[in-house]
């Protein structure tokens, strides 16, 4: 998301097991996982009897980019740094908006059409703070976190900036698969 050059598969520091950081005292939860995301689990992390609002954003893989059919998205990350960056974002946004809880979960690996790649959940005493904090968190995650997205098409793949509408560096699928074998 934030790096200008995506990592090669050989340099990918992902693992098959979920990775997470939690600050239970502040009700902040961040995680990266290869498993499908669970809406209820994400929302439950931010529930509070003091909350007047819980806002959940669920980002999904759409079937096209600029009218070109998308097969899948593939996310990779430098997990230790990505977790720390997400935690820092959550701490800052929670304090700024007076949130009761905040949770961010990002999926790694292949994410099929219609599947969720990111969840952002926030709880606050009032809805305005929750709405604003949820959107701000998502934009900061897309801008700063060390997660990279490869968009796969029938005829190739593109490492994509996570800024909406920006094209990335086009690659042939054969080239991508060759990198995975290194």
Q: Is 44 within a domain?
A: yes
CA–CA dist 124, 51 (Å, integer): 5
What lies within 8 Å, CB to CB, of 119 at 6+ separation is 37, 39, 42, 56, 57, 58, 59, 103, 104, 105
Here the tokens at position 26 are 């502040």
On whether the CB atoms of residues 26 and 94 are closer than 8 A, the answer is yes
CATH number for the domain spanning 91: value is 3.90.1170.40
Q: Is 122 within a domain?
A: yes
On whether the CB atoms of residues 116 and 107 are closer than 8 A, the answer is yes
- The total of other beta-carbon atoms located within 10 Å of residue 90's CB is 28
Domain range holding 73? Answer: 23-171
Here the tokens at position 181 are 């074998």
Q: What residue numbers does the annotated binding site for substrate cover?
A: 126-127, 142, 149-151
Q: What is the count of structural domains for the chain?
A: 1
Q: Is 16 within a domain?
A: no
Q: Is 74 within a domain?
A: yes
Q: Is 135 within a domain?
A: yes
Q: What residue numbers does the annotated binding site cover?
A: 126-127, 142, 149-151
> Per residue of the chain (182 residues), what is the pLDDT tens digit?
444 444 443 344 444 555 999 999 999 999 999 999 999 999 999 999 999 999 999 999 999 988 899 999 999 999 999 999 999 999 999 999 999 999 999 999 999 999 999 999 999 999 999 999 999 999 999 999 999 999 999 889 988 766 554 555 555 555 544 455 44
Q: Is 68 within a domain?
A: yes
Q: Is 18 within a domain?
A: no
CA–CA dist 17, 25 (Å, integer): 25
């Amino acid at each position: 998301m934030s790096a200008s050059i995506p990592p090669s598969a050989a340099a990918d520091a992902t693992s098959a097991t979920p990775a997470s950081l939690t600050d239970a005292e502040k009700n902040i939860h961040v995680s990266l996982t290869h498993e499908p995301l669970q809406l209820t689990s994400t929302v439950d992390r931010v529930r509070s009897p003091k909350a007047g609002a819980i806002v959940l954003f669920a980002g999904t893989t759409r079937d096209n980019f600029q009218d070109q059919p998308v097969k899948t998205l593939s996310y990779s990350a430098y997990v230790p740094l990505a977790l720390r960056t997400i935690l820092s974002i959550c701490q800052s946004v929670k304090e700024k908006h007076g949130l009761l809880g905040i949770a961010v979960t990002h999926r790694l690996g292949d994410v099929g059409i219609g599947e969720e790649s990111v969840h952002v959940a926030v709880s606050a005493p009032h809805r305005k703070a929750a709405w604003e904090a949820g959107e701000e968190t998502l934009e900061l995650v897309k801008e700063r976190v060390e997660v990279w997205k490869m968009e796969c098409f029938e005829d190739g793949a593109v490492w994509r900036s996570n800024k909406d509408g920006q094209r990335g560096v086009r690659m042939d699928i054969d080239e991508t698969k060759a990198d995975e074998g290194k």
